[in-house]
């Protein structure tokens, strides 16, 4: 008998190629049975579903079956038949099993039982083999693909901005240095400062916190561009929403004003959520059930009103609420938690920076839908944002999502050279360091806008996972860069 070509489990389950001989390969999830028959649940990562392998000890030797334990990699040839059991339409009756790699049951950490998320982070090198993380990372792929498809269809160009830069676009001073100095022997200038002239790039460099500034240069040439790359921030915030290394999508558009920018962000979010609902149905159903299960452990007043699938559909069906910062402050000042001093940060008045507790109040309690806040006080925003006529606010916008808080931050950019230079002086940003950025305002400047969408924040929303460490394969957070 000739050996058939290998078929992936997703395809096999979809096609239900009954009576055919197939070759499947994968990792054993479970094995159960008795001396007459064994049932092996096999998964190859192509789908959340396992194929059931039926192994008859009179066909498959005891020596082989002994090695078929949870985590082992096996190769199976056999016949596809209608399944007698419930739970699957077809199964494979094994004619031959080859053990490709054993997994000692005494030592294999991922046993078929419920493990805590904390434990799963300790075995991040293996956790992708679980149903939950398999689903999460298939969804991650789909969302990434959908982002590229959205922009490509709109005629945007994907621009690869540098990872090593000399600038701190957000001016928050949270950069990681890049150097190849011998850290035990750093060259100093006669004045005792670090002599970056002797460093690899001949100047001080860091990992990028944002591709925006270079993205703007691209938009001033190609019209509409987007970046989708890793960004790095040495923020020492140990929260469920922050990573030190995260991926960001940053479109930048010539001739867009603030409201066009907001509309593009809303369209992008709806497009990718819809794509996931259409292409990741089984994974999202699994994740929705999982999230509903987790909700049961929360106190009644913290539980989400809708399940995951309903929340995703809700975002598609409703327009985002757009309000100014000034209106947001009025709502917050008069809110119950503010009056009763339930917020950790009480809103005293205009000018206050919004904390995530305020953002979540607006989204989850007040409007009960995604909210866009725009026209923020200039003093709490970055130097590059376009100054409004009132001299107090800038054309900034943040998009806030239920359960997440800020998912998008963006603005119309200050395209007027003098205003930009003046703002940089006020904020002590030396012009020499950004001469190339200022050049775009000297030569053919034009109104333009852009935003940044945090990819892992989007992942949190779409997968219903509770911690940002669980939606990126290998999280980087303070004190943690294993794997
Ligand atoms: O609001 P941010 O800091 O905006 C910028 O970086 C702009 N340069 C974007 C632009 O206009 N091109 O960050 C944008 C988004 C946030 O809304 C959030 O979703 C995400 O990036 N983000 C983080 N995600 C995970 N971990 C962190 N430490 C994050 N910091 C920001
Ligand atoms: Mg922001």
457 pocket-lining for ligand 1 (C-beta < 6 Å): yes
CA of 110 to the centre of ligand 2 (A): 38
399 pocket-lining for ligand 1 (C-beta < 6 Å): no
Q: Which ligand is nearest to the CA of 249?
A: 1
> Which tokens belong to 355?
């904390």
Please give the pLDDT value at position 1. 62
Q: How far apart, in whole angstroms, are the C-alpha atoms of residue 27 and residue 5?
A: 18
CA of 445 to the centre of ligand 2 (A): 25
Q: Whose CA is nearest to atom 22 of ligand 1?
A: 454
In 3D, which of 384, 362, 380, 381 has the Cα closest to residue 371?
362
Atom of ligand 1 nearest to the CA of 399: 17
233 pocket-lining for ligand 1 (C-beta < 6 Å): yes
In the three-class reduction of DSSP (H, G, I as helix; E, B as strand; rest coil), residue 461 is classed as helix
From first CA to last CA, the distance across the chain in angstroms is 44
Q: Give me the long-range contacts of 37-41 (CB less than 8 A, separation at least 24).
A: 38/65, 38/68, 39/85, 40/68, 40/74, 40/76, 40/94
Atom of ligand 1 nearest to the CA of 411: 11
71 pocket-lining for ligand 1 (C-beta < 6 Å): no
Atom of ligand 1 nearest to the CA of 406: 17
Backbone angles phi, psi at 321, to 5 degrees: -80, 130
| DSSP letter, residue 361 | I
Task: Give residues with Cβ within 8 angstroms of 348, minimum separation 6.
Answer: none
Task: Give residues with Cβ within 8 angstroms of 345, minimum separation 6.
Answer: 352, 355, 357, 358
Task: Give residues with Cβ within 8 angstroms of 339, minimum separation 6.
Answer: none
413 pocket-lining for ligand 1 (C-beta < 6 Å): no
Helix boundaries (H) for 49-130: 62-67, 117-122
In 3D, which of 417, 449, 441, 440 has the Cα closest to residue 224?
449
Q: Judge contact between 168 and 162, C-beta under 8 A.
A: no
406 pocket-lining for ligand 1 (C-beta < 6 Å): yes
Kindly give the interhelix angle for 308-317 and 258-279, rounded to the nearest 10 degrees: 140
Please give the pLDDT value at position 236. 84
Q: How far apart, in whole angstroms, are the C-alpha atoms of residue 207 and residue 197?
A: 18
Q: Whose CA is nearest to atom 23 of ligand 1?
A: 454
Q: Which ligand is nearest to the CA of 228?
A: 1
27 pocket-lining for ligand 1 (C-beta < 6 Å): no
Q: How far apart, in whole angstroms, are the C-alpha atoms of residue 178 and residue 200?
A: 9
Please give the pLDDT value at position 166. 92
373 pocket-lining for ligand 1 (C-beta < 6 Å): no
Q: Whose CA is nearest to atom 17 of ligand 1?
A: 408
> Which tokens belong to 204?
């001080």
User: pTM, whole model, 2 decimals?
Assistant: 0.97
Q: Whose CA is nearest to atom 5 of ligand 1?
A: 452
Question: How far does Cα 391 stand from its chain's mean position?
Answer: 36
Q: What is the pLDDT along the chain (483 residues), one digit of tens a residue?
A: 678 999 999 999 998 888 999 999 999 999 999 999 999 999 999 999 999 999 999 999 999 999 999 999 999 999 999 998 888 899 999 999 999 999 999 999 999 899 999 999 999 999 999 999 999 999 999 999 999 999 999 999 999 999 999 988 888 889 999 999 999 999 999 999 999 999 999 999 999 999 999 999 999 999 999 999 999 999 888 899 999 999 999 999 999 999 999 999 999 999 999 999 999 999 999 999 999 999 998 888 778 889 999 999 999 999 999 999 999 999 999 999 999 999 999 999 999 999 989 999 999 999 999 999 999 999 999 999 999 999 999 999 999 999 999 999 999 999 999 999 999 999 999 999 999 999 999 999 999 999 999 999 999 999 999 999 999 999 999 999 999
Q: Which ligand is nearest to the CA of 411?
A: 1
CA of 390 to the centre of ligand 1 (A): 26
**H/E element holding 124?**
none
Q: Whose CA is nearest to atom 25 of ligand 1?
A: 242
Q: Whose CA is nearest to atom 1 of ligand 1?
A: 409
CA of 339 to the centre of ligand 2 (A): 26
In 3D, which of 379, 339, 344 has the Cα closest to residue 360?
344
Q: How far apart, in whole angstroms, are the C-alpha atoms of residue 411 and residue 452?
A: 9
Please give the pLDDT value at position 170. 85
Site to substitute for ligand 1 among 230, 457, 460, 471, most atoms within 8 A of C-beta = 457
Q: Whose CA is nearest to atom 7 of ligand 1?
A: 452
Q: Whose CA is nearest to atom 30 of ligand 1?
A: 242
Q: Which ligand is nearest to the CA of 269?
A: 1
Q: Whose CA is nearest to atom 21 of ligand 1?
A: 454
> Which tokens belong to 396?
């900034």
Q: Judge contact between 32 and 68, C-beta under 8 A.
A: no
Half-sphere exposure of 273 (CA within 13 A, CB side): 24
């Amino acid at each position: 008998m000739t050996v058939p070509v290998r078929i992936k489990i997703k395809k096999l389950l979809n096609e239900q190629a009954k009576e055919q001989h197939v070759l499947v390969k994968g990792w054993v999830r479970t094995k159960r049975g008795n001396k007459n028959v064994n049932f092996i649940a096999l998964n190859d990562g192509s789908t959340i579903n396992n194929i059931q392998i039926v192994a008859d000890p009179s066909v498959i030797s005891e020596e082989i079956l002994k090695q078929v334990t949870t985590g082992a990699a096996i190769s199976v040839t056999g016949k596809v038949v209608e399944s007698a059991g419930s739970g699957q339409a077809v199964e494979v009756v094994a004619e031959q099993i080859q053990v490709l790699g054993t997994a000692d049951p005494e030592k294999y950490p991922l046993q078929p039982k419920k493990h805590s998320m904390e434990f799963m982070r300790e075995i991040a090198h293996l956790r992708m083999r679980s149903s939950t993380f398999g689903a999460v990372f298939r969804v991650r792929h789909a969302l990434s693909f959908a982002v590229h498809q959205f922009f490509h269809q709109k005629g945007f160009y994907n621009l690869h901005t540098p990872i090593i830069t000399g600038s701190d676009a957000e001016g928050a001073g949270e950069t990681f240095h890049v150097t190849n100095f011998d850290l035990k022997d750093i060259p100093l200038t006669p004045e005792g400062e670090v002599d970056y002239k002797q460093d690899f790039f001949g100047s001080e460099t860091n990992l990028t916190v944002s591709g925006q500034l270079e993205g703007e240069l691209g938009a001033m040439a190609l019209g509409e561009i987007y970046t989708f790359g890793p960004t790095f921030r040495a923020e020492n915030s140990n929260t469920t929403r922050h990573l030190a290394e995260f991926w960001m999508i940053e479109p930048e558009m010539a001739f867009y004003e603030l409201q066009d920018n907001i509309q593009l962000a809303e369209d992008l979010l709806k497009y990718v959520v819809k794509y996931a609902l259409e292409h990741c149905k089984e994974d999202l159903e699994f994740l929705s059930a999982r999230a509903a299960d987790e909700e049961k452990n929360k106190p009644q007043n913290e539980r989400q009103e809708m399940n995951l699938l309903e929340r995703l559909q809700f975002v598609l069906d409703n327009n985002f609420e757009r309000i100014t910062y000034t209106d947001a402050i009025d709502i917050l000042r008069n809110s119950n938690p503010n009056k009763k001093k339930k917020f950790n940060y009480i809103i005293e008045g205009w000018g206050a920076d919004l904390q995530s507790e305020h953002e979540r109040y607006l989204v989850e309690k007040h409007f009960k839908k995604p909210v866009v806040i725009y026209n923020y006080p200039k003093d709490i925003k970055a130097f590059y944002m376009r100054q409004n006529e009132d001299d107090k606010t800038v054309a900034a916008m943040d998009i806030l999502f239920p359960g997440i808080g800020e998912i998008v931050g963006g603005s119309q950019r200050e395209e007027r050279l003098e205003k930009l230079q003046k703002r940089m002086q006020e904020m002590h940003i030396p012009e020499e360091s950004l001469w190339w950025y200022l050049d775009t305002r000297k030569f053919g400047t034009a109104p333009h806008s852009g935003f940044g969408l945090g990819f892992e924040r989007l992942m949190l929303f779409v997968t219903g996972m509770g911690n940002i460490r669980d939606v990126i394969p290998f999280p980087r957070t303070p004190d943690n860069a294993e794997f």
